[in-house]
């Protein structure tokens, strides 16, 4: 389907990797980039959702590759495969990530490590592999450059029930800042997109019903974001409009980051103020 917003062909010739492109924000971003002419490789642990994203894209412009971003050999294999097939990587969207909602006092050492490993180490492995192998050495000794977009989390002043992920995403944001300075000499631009609440299948089915029902009430704009709104921002950054954007943490959250409501907000904790824990429900 053509983009509803941007000019066709805007990203012709670009090659992008979108991690976690088999669902939610990653799928929407991959499809928008492909609609604008980019060749997009989506990766994740499960093949089936990735193949579904590929099937939804026009002109075979999305390819599915199974890759667990926590595993160095799989990340290297992914980068090998993309370079072998396309010869370049212009954009990496580090969207794969996740956490489980739980009161901080119930987070086990293993649980904390799991969230850090996925969101921080996985993002770092992908970033390092793509940057060193595809963005630093161009033709004639000039760096080829590129863009890296990291998905993080809003609000920045803390999301109760997600202490592990709040810590992990803060780490990724500072990584974004430091690399935007250190790798500017290669023409590599990095941005973090601090996502507020988006109506993805994961958000709608994984979190406690009270949270799903009440969360829009914590957003000043009064609603959740749509996957498409997120994808447009990724496409904007990939386009020439994003060429001077680097080191920025762009918050896309309906002003949630600026809201400091009373704690606890009605219905989002138990009666004693303890954050609710995750409870998965069947998909609609």
Ligand X SMILES: NC(=O)c1ccc[n+]([C@@H]2O[C@H](COP(=O)([O-])OP(=O)(O)OC[C@H]3O[C@@H](n4cnc5c(N)ncnc54)[C@H](OP(=O)(O)O)[C@@H]3O)[C@@H](O)[C@H]2O)c1
Smaller CB separation from ligand X, 184 or 204: 204
Per the CB < 8 A criterion, the answer to whether 43 and 21 are in contact is yes
Smaller CB separation from ligand X, 130 or 153: 153
DSSP 25-37: HHHHHHHHHHHTT
Smaller CB separation from ligand X, 10 or 224: 224
The SS3 of residue 193 is strand
Smaller CB separation from ligand X, 10 or 268: 268
Torsion over CA: 63, 172, 115, 274 (sign): negative
C-alpha 31/C-alpha 38 separation (Å) is 9
Among 83-91, 95-103, 237-245, 256-264, the segment contacting ligand X (CB under 6 A): 95-103
Beta strands in the chain (DSSP E): 15-19, 39-44, 62-66, 91-94, 146-153, 188-195, 248-252
Smaller CB separation from ligand X, 112 or 184: 112
68 scored as a contact of ligand X (CB under 6 A): yes
Among 20-28, 77-85, 182-190, 238-246, the segment contacting ligand X (CB under 6 A): 20-28
Residue 75 CB, shortest distance to ligand X, in Å, is 9
69 scored as a contact of ligand X (CB under 6 A): yes
269 scored as a contact of ligand X (CB under 6 A): no
56 scored as a contact of ligand X (CB under 6 A): no
- Pairing type for strands 62-66 and 146-153 reads unpaired
CA-nearest of 97, 274, 269, 122 to 198 is 97
What is the total residue count of the chain? 284
Smaller CB separation from ligand X, 198 or 232: 198
Q: Which of residues 133-162 bind ligand X (CB under 6 A)?
A: 151, 153
CB proximity list for 233: less than 8 A, separation 6 or greater: 193, 250, 252
118 scored as a contact of ligand X (CB under 6 A): yes
For ligand X, the nearest residue by Cβ is: 24
Binding interface with ligand X (CB under 6 A)? 19-20, 22-26, 43-46, 49, 68-70, 95-98, 118, 122, 151, 153, 195, 197-198, 200, 202-203
């Amino acid at each position: 389907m053509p983009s509803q917003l941007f000019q066709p062909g805007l990203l012709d010739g670009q090659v992008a990797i979108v991690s976690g492109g088999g669902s939610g924000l990653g799928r929407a971003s991959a499809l928008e980039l492909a609609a604008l002419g980019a060749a997009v490789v989506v990766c994740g642990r499960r093949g089936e959702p990735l193949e579904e994203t590929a099937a939804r894209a026009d002109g075979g412009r999305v390819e599915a590759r199974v890759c667990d971003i926590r595993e160095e050999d799989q990340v290297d294999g992914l980068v090998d495969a993309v370079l072998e097939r396309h010869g370049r990587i212009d954009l990496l969207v580090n969207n794969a990530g996740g956490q489980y909602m739980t009161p901080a006092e119930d987070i086990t050492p293993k649980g904390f490590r799991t969230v850090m490993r996925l969101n921080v180490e996985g993002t770092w492995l992908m970033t390092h592999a793509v940057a060193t192998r595809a963005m630093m050495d161009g033709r004639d000794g000039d760096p080829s450059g590129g863009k890296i977009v990291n998905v993080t989390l809003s609000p920045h002043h803390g999301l109760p029930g997600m202490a592990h992920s709040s810590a992990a995403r803060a780490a990724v944001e500072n990584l974004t800042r430091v690399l935007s300075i250190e790798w500017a000499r290669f023409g590599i631009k990095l941005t973090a997109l601090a996502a507020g609440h988006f109506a993805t299948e994961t958000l709608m089915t994984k979190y406690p019903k009270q949270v799903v029902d009440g969360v829009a009430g914590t957003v000043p704009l009064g609603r959740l974001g749509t996957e498409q709104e997120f994808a447009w921002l990724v496409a904007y950054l990939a386009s020439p409009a994003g060429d001077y954007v680097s080191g920025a943490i762009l918050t896309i959250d309906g002003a949630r980051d600026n809201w400091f409501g009373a704690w606890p907000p009605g219905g989002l904790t138990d009666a004693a103020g303890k954050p609710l824990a995750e409870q998965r429900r069947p998909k609609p």
